[in-house]
Chain A
Amino acid sequence: MHSPLDTAEHPEKLRRVVIEPVSRVEGHGKVTILLDDQRKVHQVRLHIVEFRGFERFIQGRPYWEVPVMVQRLCGICPVSHHLAASKALDAVVGARTLTPAAERIRRLMHYGQILQSHALHFYHLASPDLLFGFDADPRKRNVVGVLAAYPDIARQGVLLRKYGQECIRVTAGKRVHGTGSIPGGVNKRVTAEERDELRRPLSDIRAWAQAGVALVTELHEHNRDLYEQFGTVKSSLLSIVGRDGKLDLYDGVLRARDAQGAIIFDGVEPKDYHVQLRENVRSWSYMKFPFIVSRGPEEGWYKVGPLARIQNCDAIGTPLAEAARQELIADSHGAIVHAPLVFHWARMIELLHAVEVIEGLLADPALLGDELVASGPRARTGVGIIEAPRGTLIHQYEVDEHDLVTMCNLIVSTTHNNQAMNEAIRQVARQHLDGHEPTEGLLNHIEVAIRAFDPCLSCATHALGKMPLAVEIVDAQGALVERLVRDGERL
């Protein structure tokens, strides 16, 4: 059976309240809430309402087009898809080990992306809730309001994002939807001038990243009960970790812990992901529901993303971020933290880590190498796993003897968090909505919980859906453009 508040017994007798669209998140989602006459909540669901069909239309394309095609899944983290596809296809072209330069250039691209995406999420999207309050005036509760009230914080956010985007531009060719990574390596070297350009602002960038960690820590301190309890539901955790057990967002092996922190599995090679993870479908969302096989479909859901990662790894390999991580662990006396609002703290620790990693890469002479592509014995299949800003991202492809893709399976970060987000908003509904008239401010509480996971709903909409009704689309002159179909059949 599904969790409480997943499915009401008699939905037809209940009042429907809808949040549509969920705003200040990436992509298209809506929340429906069903209430009875006493305003008791009976059902809460986050619906992913779009479908784009990438897994299907990739089939039949030549494999080398794939890294550039699939990044169109998402404009906020295109690099994740660009690199996860490249990593999967490294196996197909037999590049078991990348050249030193290619490995570093891809890492610079990826950590640049972690930096820009985390900055965007915190400063541009989520910070208005945390700085002004969840039920502040909705006209001010946005990045424009932050610019007016906290100009320094907003400016630092804009410049942190800019810096991450510049790391991407230098390595991928342009800021959004670049072409730098290819199966077997990269197609563009980094010049000494480009490296020096990126090194120049580093001390400011590092200081602002540290200020970001201090800001979320302070917000947490000031409102401890809220930050620890808001929407909190225990679950397992999943991420990749480096082969040495340390935080590694570019490459590693799968590790899962249960809600108390005990290892469920560890050291699982990317190609074996399907042994540990499977997916379920629900009627009311185009996003699937993955679960850990050994725990089963009901109990096997888990969280991914910054909060999972920094508690799943043994340590962070850079000093400033590791010190910040130790502070977070000490704050909960070592108990696993499940609170959605603590995602923000973990995310800023990762942002700081990204700056430190970038600093290390820019100091490494191997970054400037010009051996860019490796190859070896061809294979028919490949799996690439990467930690995208929002969590674990899995790409799997099969390629035939004509170099055409015959199978594509994607499990994106936000999909892993599907159940976790639904459980969090149900908990918020119990904590804050039950018995109250759902005002704009109260409904924003639901969105605050969703935002904490930094969902990328565009990434989650790569699937296709069914048509439950019939509709006609007409153009500006009233002429019929399209008649929609019912149950997959043309009317």
Chain B
Amino acid sequence: MTRAAVEIPTKKKLRVATTSLAGCFGCHMSLLDIDERLVPLLELVELDASPLTDIKHPGPCDLGLIEGGLCNADNVRMLRVFREQCKVLVAMGACAINGGLPAQRNHLDIRDCLQTVYLSGHGVERGFIPNDPELPLPLKQVHPLHDVVKIDYFLPGCPPSAEAIWQFLTDIIAGRTPHLGHGLIKYD
């Protein structure tokens, strides 16, 4: 089955915010891996808050793409802001969907982790555990996004491929229900 070409909405660009919570930015890299197609995409999309812009807090948006799970209180706060501001919210990549590799710490005792890194760590001198109020509260365990807010779409992969992200975005832009065909859904 062939798909119709993306219809270009002439009036209003789709407003899109993106953020990385407890992720590695790999999903954002995969988004940039659409390469030259970034140019036509940015003709259809207006970037709001994103690591690529200097807008620090999202305004009302049509779409929010979130990479990474929740490992601290700041992540939770930012996720709630995105849910309030974005009509459609997407959990992008393995960490957003199930915590990903950072969730490997979930079976460990947090005090033991702290001591390993900051007290008994190799080559650490005069070690102690950072405790300034400017540092956000870590969660006891790493959580996926849907533990806290309603998520509209899940885009799997570590990271989802550029092709998958492109297919997803062009479907949304054209007003279609996103459909990732054969080979685009991978759980690596």
Contact = CB atoms under 8 A, between A and B. Distances in A.
Contacts of B134: 30, 32, 45, 47, 49, 284
A386 B87 CA distance: 44
Nearest to B21: A28
B148 A476 contact: yes
B30 interface: yes
Contact of B29 (A45, A55, A69, A76): A76
Given A284-B134, A297-B125, A464-B110, A482 B140 contact: yes
A483 B143 CA distance: 13
Contacts, number: 257
Interface of B: 20, 22-30, 32-33, 35-36, 38-39, 42, 47, 51-56, 70-74, 76, 100-102, 104-105, 108, 110-114, 116-118, 121-141, 143, 147-150, 158-159, 161-162, 188
Q: Closest 4 CB pairs between A and B?
A: A75-B26, A284-B132, A488-B111, A409-B122
Contact of B47 (A144, A483, A490): A144
Nearest to B33: A175
B73 A484 contact: yes
19 contacts: A59-B116, A74-B24, A120-B32, A139-B55, A141-B53, A142-B54, A175-B33, A176-B29, A177-B159, A274-B122, A278-B124, A281-B130, A284-B130, A286-B135, A466-B130, A473-B73, A474-B148, A476-B148, A488-B111
Contacts of B110: 464, 485, 488
Interface in A430-478: 444, 447, 458, 463-471, 473-476
A124 B22 CA distance: 22
Contacts of A26: 25, 51
A53 interface: yes
Interface string A86-126: 00000000000000000000000000000000001000110
Given A75-B23, A279-B123, A458-B25, A465 B159 contact: no
B121 A279 contact: yes
A139 B47 CA distance: 9
Contacts of B126: 280-281, 297
A234 interface: no
A1 interface: no
Given A155-B39, A284-B135, A481-B147, A176 B76 contact: no
Given A473-B76, A484-B73, A124 B123 contact: no
Contact of A56 (B30, B38, B76, B117): B117
A446 to B, nearest CB: 12
Nearest to B141: A482
Contacts of B118: 281, 288, 463-464
Interface in A367-409: 396, 407, 409
Given A55-B121, A177-B159, A463-B118, A471 B148 contact: no
A252 interface: no
Interface string A301-329: 00000000000000000000000000000
A409 B141 contact: no
Interface stretch (A158-166, A221-229, A339-347, A416-424): A158-166
Nearest to A48: B135
A270 interface: no
Contacts of A409: 121-123
Contact of A75 (B141, B149, B159): B159
B56 A21 contact: yes
A78 B26 CA distance: 8
A248 interface: no
Contact of B35 (A23, A78, A158, A280): A158
Nearest to B106: A57
A283 B139 CA distance: 19
B69 to A, nearest CB: 10
Category for how many chain A residues contact B? 35 or more
A142 B150 contact: no
Contact of A49 (B35, B124, B136, B139): B136
A143 interface: yes
B61 to A, nearest CB: 15
B141 A464 contact: no
Nearest to A459: B24
Contacts of A407: 122
A120 B135 CA distance: 29
Contact of B33 (A45, A144, A176, A288): A176
B144 to A, nearest CB: 11
Contacts of B76: 473
A474 B147 CA distance: 9
A190 to B, nearest CB: 20
A360 B48 CA distance: 42
Interface-central residue, B35, B110, B130, by most chain A CB under 10 Å: B130
A27 interface: yes
A464 B102 contact: no
A73 interface: yes
A281 B134 CA distance: 15
A51 interface: yes
A72 B140 contact: no
Interface-central residue, B22, B25, B42, by most chain A CB under 10 Å: B25
B71 to A, nearest CB: 7
Nearest to A175: B33
A55 B117 contact: yes
B97 to A, nearest CB: 14
A153 interface: no
A211 interface: no
Interface-central residue, A28, A57, A142, A485, by most chain B CB under 10 Å: A28
A237 to B, nearest CB: 20
A217 interface: no
Interface-central residue, B47, B100, B101, B111, by most chain A CB under 10 Å: B101
Interface-central residue, A73, A75, A176, A482, by most chain B CB under 10 Å: A176
